[in-house]
Structure 1
Amino acid sequence: MISQNTINTVFETARVEEVIGDFVNLKRAGSNFKGLSPFSDERSPSFMVSPAKGIWKDFSTGKGGNSVKFLMEHSQFTYPEAIRYLARKYNIEIEETEQTDAEKAITDVRESMYLVSEFAKDYFHRTLINSEEGKAIGLSYFKERGFTNETIKKFDLGYSPETWDALTKEALGKGYKLEFLESTGLTIPREDRPFDRFKGRVMFPIQSMSGRVLGFGGRILTNDKKAAKYLNSPESDIYHKSKVLYGIYQAKQSIAKQNNCYLVEGYTDVIQFNQAGIENVVASSGTALTPDQIRLINRLTRNITVLFDGDAAGLRASIRGIDLILEEGMNVRVCGFPDGEDPDSFARKNSHDELVAYLEENSKDFIQFKASLLMKDAKNDPIKKADLIRDMVTSISKIPDRIQREVYTQECARIMDISEQVLVSTLAQLIQKDLTEANKKQKQEQKPFEVLRNQNPKNTGYSGGDPDDPRTGPPDGYMEEPGYPQQQQAEKVDILYRLERKVIEILLLYGDKTEEFEDVFLKSNDEGEVVMVSEKKQYKVHQRIYLSLQEDEVELSNNLFRDIFTDIIGFYHQNEKFSLEQYLMRLEPDFAQEVTDILMEDERLALHDWEGQNIFTKGKHETIAQYVSETVMSMRWFLVGKIIEELKSSIQPENSDNTELLSMVMDYSKLVNSFSKKLGRVMSRYH
């Protein structure tokens, strides 16, 4: 077990923007960073990182947390794995403590699959480097391809022996379970004796963006016509080939830095380019390009350059992938190689400078590429030329951005020597057709929800303006209870929800700060008149809030907020200095999620760039005491108002003694009046 000291060092050292920056292309947004969500399909940034708070928030899915939580969400790390990953990243020595038998007994299926895959990677690599068979067959093959020892190590290339069960026997001998060897596809089950899937092949580990081994690709080196030349791991809980790109782990930083990704087809294409000094390259591993693979690149850059072989098959594959890339709102260029050449062979024959120069000179915009490619077939045939133009317009219609569509339409008209108006008209028809089909599909998908809504008409939800617009959208935590009209319920529930949420936010952001507060109380003067007197004192913000709520003997109404409030106050009392990082790392999942949501609320508003539209928000940090006082007093006012209503409802009919109740109502009413004078506004709308 990892020691608490190591965990504390990791949290103190890790910078959330650096950790997430390895996986997401982040751009500065004031004091924060923003980028595309790594958890959903989106084209507008909804992912925010706050270095000052040490947390992140994905507003498209609601996920959020610290560096460790990101690794657990994004790469399916366990908590210990995330700590180990960060320790390696920041060169922190890991201290271990003895595990209990109960802890050793806890196993996770996915984790076991990752572990056995990691073992197989190391086994194949050792076999390649150390065994006579590996050196004679596997290593000599890689050397013939021109791969250096450094490259072989960088990509963890390996060799699986010709023996039927070499890996299986070795893994079982090391204590790995057969069920996980089989579930990862490394071993093929058979009643008499299980055997290795990849026997007699050179091995290419397929890694996730974080470096975890997901599966393998194996190439056979014999001329066995019955065996597939390349063999991949089967689909499993950890390996989905349509969502994986070979080389993404080695390429991610270069892709973000160069703001471009070269897309090739095979393993050796990636490795050869990488060895030539061009590291921002990935492969679809011989499978047809998928939207999930494109989105993986989209998290790092919006620019893709497709590299294809100089043959007909390579051209057709490139054309199929272009429309998919365009649909994801990305910029795509295409570059082909001379006949008989592929990225692997061409990179092997040319120096780094020659390769870079060739790519720059021969990369074409997709319109130019399609025109130059297909015009060869069309020649002087009007029908074929019309089909070509229609094909190009179809590609343009996939582009989400209207301005880009118009620019490409103009370029297409110029290249094909055709009226722009004709293209615009055709484009409009295609877009309308796509919209009609999309609306039809959406209605079909919504039918089950419509049925549920009709069955429960009271639970209609929010039906206001833009849900992402803070000026017109629903209030935070909007909820509706049965029996209340929608507008009435918003007033009865959500105001208190907002106020209590603000109290938690203040405790998290400013609770440890010392501020000067003004105490206001009633006092009799020399003439016997009751007057309002003010007195200024210094308090810690968390003390001020706690004492203010205790004064009225009230507690937060929201169960989760009440528990968090108690937890935070307890943390302040037990620790001389408040550290947000330390507080977050000790929270239970439910608490951690809600706390992150609260802390990142301001960042959600920042995504919309309200200030760029001359809409400004108040800087809370500039007037902390005033902000605290107004928030707490507003909440006290609301809660006292509820007490008054409850007392009034308890008053009995005539001829009953209601003296005590009426006296209490009067006392609380005086308190409300004092709140009103202090805040300088009327709050009857809360009742």
Structure 2
Amino acid sequence: MISKSTIDQVYETARLEEVIGDFVQLKKSGANFKGLSPFTDERTPSFMVSPVKQIWKDFSSGKGGNVVAFLMEHEHFTYPEAIKYLAKKYNIEVEETQRTDEQKQEANERESMYLVSEFARDHFQHNLWESELGKAIGLSYFKERGFEEETIRSFGLGYCLDHWDDFTKAALEAGYQLNYLEKTGLTIIKEGAAEGESNRKFDRFKGRVMFPIHSMSGRVLGFGGRILGNNKKAAKYLNSPESEIYHKSKVLYGIYFAKKAIAKEDNCFLVEGYTDVIQFYQRGIQNVVSSSGTALTPEQIRLINRLTKNITVLFDGDAAGLRASLRGVDLILEQGMNVKICTFPEGEDPDSFAKNNSLEELQHYLQENSKDFIQFKASLLAEESANDPIKRADTIRDIVNSISKIPDTIKREVYIQECAQIMNISEQVLFNTLAQIGQKALSDAGKKAREAQKAFEVVKSEPVQEKIDLQYELERKIIEVLLLYGNEEEEFEDLLLRENEAGDLVLEPESMAAKVYEKIFLDLQEDEIELTHEKFRTIYYLLISSLSENEDFSINTFLTDLDRELVEEVSSILMEEERYTLHQWERKDIYPKEKQAGVSQLVSETILTLRCYLIKKRIHSLQQNTEGSSEDHRETLEEIMNYLQLNTLLNKKLNRVLS
């Protein structure tokens, strides 16, 4: 268990905008920050962060909460893991009891796989630095590649001994279950060939140097292993298999080490291999990641898109597979990102070039040789089709096809103009080709939609206009007021119902000083009003309790005691007004009305409106009881008249005209 003092210190120290800024590129928007949702695929920001309230809200997915909720949602951390992550980030010492073997076994499956992966990283590192074979083989290899000791330790590089089950034995002896060793792919189990023969267990990465693959928050998801021998039957590089925690298509090697530099430099260098990333990082260029030898995927691009809109793809000097690699560029363009391409001299790759050149020389080369994708593609393909009109036509069509992937209309037009100049062809022809490609895409999409429609019959019905649930909105407003102003002391105008000299009922004002939460609680209790929506009712009583017990009530602390569902509800209530800032209405000369009423007026109007609503509801109920009945309803009718009179008085107080 983590001590309460540690948890309190973490919440007091952690800054939400700093933590989320490690995962999402945030831009200032008034008093808040906004960015692209890290939970959905979007091109228009709908993710808001409030530094003042220390909460976030993702309007595209409905998720929201405080700093811990973000880490639990985004990184799939447990609550203790999120606290430990924040403690590490802010150099806070964590007070806790040692995790026992029994606790390891009780951890959930996902967490158990993380624990096994972290143990494996430590074990391989220990082999590299402490064992004779590790130092002689693994460490020597890394040093030959030009990696310094500090770099080797930073990236957690290691070595799996060339023994059948060195790692598996160590993990089992440390109390980790064989089940999770197999699920992470670290151990391979081969069933016994003959009856009665026991299953054989051996290490997947036997005799390989190890590259841990980290999540954006630094958790070990899997490994890449490079063989050092001359075994032609074995793959040069071997990756962990897909698992509950490792999805190759959604991970970028080096993203944990690069994320801050990517956001700071507003550019990401994309390379192919592990050693390319490490060598660049060691040389001083830290905004670099790798797709780890796999074809680039939309999920990987979206990881970068959260941090920057700019990608520079770095290719080896060997042009053999260059054309195939360019397919990844189209994927980047589809995500609305800006792409540059840089190739190294023949025989060089990012690893060797960074190793053999100083930081200044490397930076100068990248700056001078990074071409816009259209220039690069045009020059590359033009060389291939120099004297062949048919090939040249195909080249131009290939370039226009890439341009068609760009979602931004203005960018598309600029690139068409540039392509026309480079390829010496009229813009009109290119625009016509672009329109044909777009028409074909629309036609294909329409065809798919029609096919999907045939698969099931859709019953057409008139669109139902959604009714506003006034009681829901009023109860929601009460929770918002309590959260924002609960502990503030205000001067309230209380309304007392009395008869005047003429015998008419009137509302007489009477001033009273009270805290907002006291006023709301007493008013609702006096009228015997119970919140009807379950979530609001739960939050209401928790709030009243917390406000009455804590003079220094804070939203951040209050959220720590709520379950995830209630945290999302609270953050949704608090961030509702921020939704309008996302639309940038002021650019269209539309200015959303902000809260101008004083707190006491806001409280009074909310309670009065709720009273009016409940009175009307009661009147309607009484009227229904009298319909179609021959009984004497004089008492009921008198009660209805009293309620109507009270409703009129309350609406006058609210300056509302009754029809």
The alignment's TM-score, normalised by the length of structure 1, stands at 0.91
Which residue does the alignment assign to 1:39? 39
SS at match of 1:538: strand
Q: Does 1:578 align with 2:585?
A: no
Contact 1:276 1:347 survives alignment (8 Å): yes
Which of 234, 252, 274 is residue 267 of structure 1 equivalent to? 274
Which residue does the alignment assign to 1:256? 263
Q: Does 1:207 align with 2:214?
A: yes
Q: How far has the Cα of 1:313 moved from its partner?
A: 3.2
1:139-180 per-position Cα deviation (integer Å, ceiling 9, x unaligned): 111111110001101111111111111101111111111111
Contact 1:124 1:158 survives alignment (8 Å): yes
Q: How far has the Cα of 1:10 moved from its partner?
A: 1.1
Q: How far has the Cα of 1:653 moved from its partner?
A: 5.9
The verdict on how the C-alpha distance between 1:683 and 1:101 changes in structure 2, with shifts beyond 3 A counting, is: farther
CA distance in 2, matches of 1:371, 1:14: 49
The verdict on how the C-alpha distance between 1:186 and 1:104 changes in structure 2, with shifts beyond 3 A counting, is: closer
Q: How far has the Cα of 1:317 moved from its partner?
A: 4.0
Q: Report the more deviating stretch, 439-448 or 138-147.
A: 439-448
Q: Does 1:300 align with 2:289?
A: no
CA distance in 2, matches of 1:446, 1:257: 47
SS at match of 1:56: strand
Q: Does 1:277 align with 2:284?
A: yes
CA distance in 2, matches of 1:403, 1:626: 49
Q: How far has the Cα of 1:82 moved from its partner?
A: 0.6
CA distance in 1, matches of 2:625, 2:100: 58
Which residue does the alignment assign to 2:22? 22
Which residue does the alignment assign to 1:95? 95
Alignment length (residue pairs): 652
Q: How far has the Cα of 1:615 moved from its partner?
A: 2.4
Contact 1:187 1:194 survives alignment (8 Å): yes
Structure with greater contact order relative to length (CA < 8 Å, sep ≥ 6): 2
Contact 2:506 2:649 survives alignment (8 Å): no
CA distance in 2, matches of 1:371, 1:120: 47
Which residue does the alignment assign to 1:309? 316
Contact 1:129 1:135 survives alignment (8 Å): yes
Which residue does the alignment assign to 1:490? 467
CA distance in 2, matches of 1:632, 1:164: 73
CA distance in 2, matches of 1:175, 1:198: 21
Contact 1:49 1:57 survives alignment (8 Å): yes
Q: Does 1:367 align with 2:374?
A: yes
The verdict on how the C-alpha distance between 1:417 and 1:72 changes in structure 2, with shifts beyond 3 A counting, is: same
SS at match of 1:194: strand
Q: Report the more deviating stretch, 522-531 or 46-55.
A: 522-531
Q: Report the more deviating stretch, 634-643 or 248-257.
A: 634-643
Structure 1 spans left out of the alignment, 5+ residues: 464-485
Q: Does 1:119 align with 2:119?
A: yes
Which residue does the alignment assign to 1:567? 542
In structure 2, what residue type is equivalent to 1:92?
I
In structure 2, what residue type is equivalent to 1:590?
E
Which residue does the alignment assign to 1:174? 174
CA distance in 2, matches of 1:603, 1:445: 38
1:613-652 per-position Cα deviation (integer Å, ceiling 9, x unaligned): 3322333265222222222211211111101111122226
1:444-493 per-position Cα deviation (integer Å, ceiling 9, x unaligned): 55777x75x73xx88x8xx5xxxxxxxxxxxxxxxxxxxxxx34x615xx
The verdict on how the C-alpha distance between 1:86 and 1:445 changes in structure 2, with shifts beyond 3 A counting, is: farther
The alignment's TM-score, normalised by the length of structure 2, stands at 0.95
CA distance in 1, matches of 2:262, 2:442: 33
Q: Does 1:219 align with 2:226?
A: yes
In structure 2, what residue type is equivalent to 1:506?
V
CA distance in 2, matches of 1:99, 1:350: 47
SS at match of 1:313: coil
Contact 1:652 1:658 survives alignment (8 Å): no
Contact 1:288 1:317 survives alignment (8 Å): no
Which of 334, 344, 348 is residue 351 of structure 2 equivalent to? 344
Which of 239, 243, 246 is residue 232 of structure 1 equivalent to? 239
Q: Does 1:426 align with 2:433?
A: yes
SS at match of 1:369: helix
Contact 1:159 1:201 survives alignment (8 Å): yes
CA distance in 2, matches of 1:539, 1:100: 51
Q: Report the more deviating stretch, 517-526 or 43-52.
A: 517-526
Which of 480, 493, 502 is residue 477 of structure 2 equivalent to? 502
CA distance in 2, matches of 1:236, 1:521: 67
CA distance in 2, matches of 1:512, 1:612: 37
Which residue does the alignment assign to 1:680? 655
CA RMSD of aligned residues (A): 2.1
Which residue does the alignment assign to 1:376? 383
Contact 2:267 2:309 survives alignment (8 Å): yes
Contact 1:256 1:300 survives alignment (8 Å): yes
Q: How far has the Cα of 1:529 moved from its partner?
A: 5.9
In structure 1, what residue type is equivalent to 2:115?
L
Which residue does the alignment assign to 2:48? 48
Q: How far has the Cα of 1:554 moved from its partner?
A: 2.3
Q: How far has the Cα of 1:57 moved from its partner?
A: 1.0
CA distance in 1, matches of 2:153, 2:88: 18
Which residue does the alignment assign to 1:517? 492
SS at match of 1:312: coil
